[in-house]
Amino acid sequence: MIATRESRLALWQAEHVQRLLQERGHAVRLLGMTTRGDQILDRSLSKVGGKGLFVKELELALEEGRADIAVHSLKDVPMELPEGFALACVLEREDPRDAFVSPAYASLDALPQGAVVGTSSLRRVVLLRALRPDLRIEPLRGNLDTRLRKLDDGQYDGIILAAAGLKRLGLESRIRTAFEPETMLPAAGQGALGIEVRADRADLIALLAPLAHREDGLATAAERAVSRAMGGSCSMPLAAHARWQADGSLRIEAAWGDVDGVGALLRVEAQSAVGDAAQAEALGDEAAARLRAAGAH
């Protein structure tokens, strides 16, 4: 049994894992749930408890035995899981980039001065301010369909969404521009799916192992280590993105900005050979140390 949120994107993600397991001969059903994160739409996540609000009810279903696994967008998974839970695997990653979506403007650069852009991500806020300090950045909550509807209703001139979600739901045509990481650095784990289980379910961890993508698992482990070392949550204006290089090493970039707009956006990078999770996390810790040395807190 897979515990999942009931938004269209969350159901796509759960059904994707369901298909992968069914192809391997397993019988799988879904347990749809509404989380606190789905219910609270009038305040930013940073003010009401963070992205963990999207996973707590699913973890309760695992704890009570009503479900065996939970499928999450990895960027929504807290850096420290509660005692008794484990991240069993990270699947192959979809496009990790942020996307600019607008019915009238082809790119962020095309927006007129003072245009309204919607996002509730503090990371995106500080990155947008660095790119276009003249814009009005307004809060935007709700699932992906709700956000698109608010845009189409004229509440915003443009909005920033994860490219992965749009692509998974067949809405790639809504993307006007996908930001390269050099321009807008993604969130830790963005575009990846993670499967959570109870830590004592060694049988499930073994069963899920074939679904894991080694390279993406190591890259996202490095990214999540940056956030963990910085005390990262959705109340932290932090970005981290790792990419494999031609020589086989892993290069991670991290960025931090003051949400109050004080000081310049800080950006660092680190690179090393990575062969296991411990080395990936050490690389992330190194990037976090460089951020702190540059003045991030």
SS3 162: strand
Bridge partners of 269, per DSSP, are 253
What is the phi/psi pair of residue 239, to 5°?
Answer: -125, 150
Residue 109 annotated as catalytic: no
193 φψ region: left (φ > 0), alpha (ψ -120 to 50), beta (else):
beta
E strand map for 163-257: 175-178, 193-198, 238-244, 250-256
Bridge partners of 2, per DSSP, are 30, 69
Choose the catalytic residue: 38, 42, 68, 76: 76
Q: Cα(125)–Cα(96) distance, rounded to whole angstroms?
A: 18
Q: Cα(137)–Cα(126) distance, rounded to whole angstroms?
A: 10
Provide the sign of the torsion angle of the four alpha carbons 173, 177, 181, 184, taken in this order: negative
Q: Cα(225)–Cα(45) distance, rounded to whole angstroms?
A: 21
Catalytic residues: 76
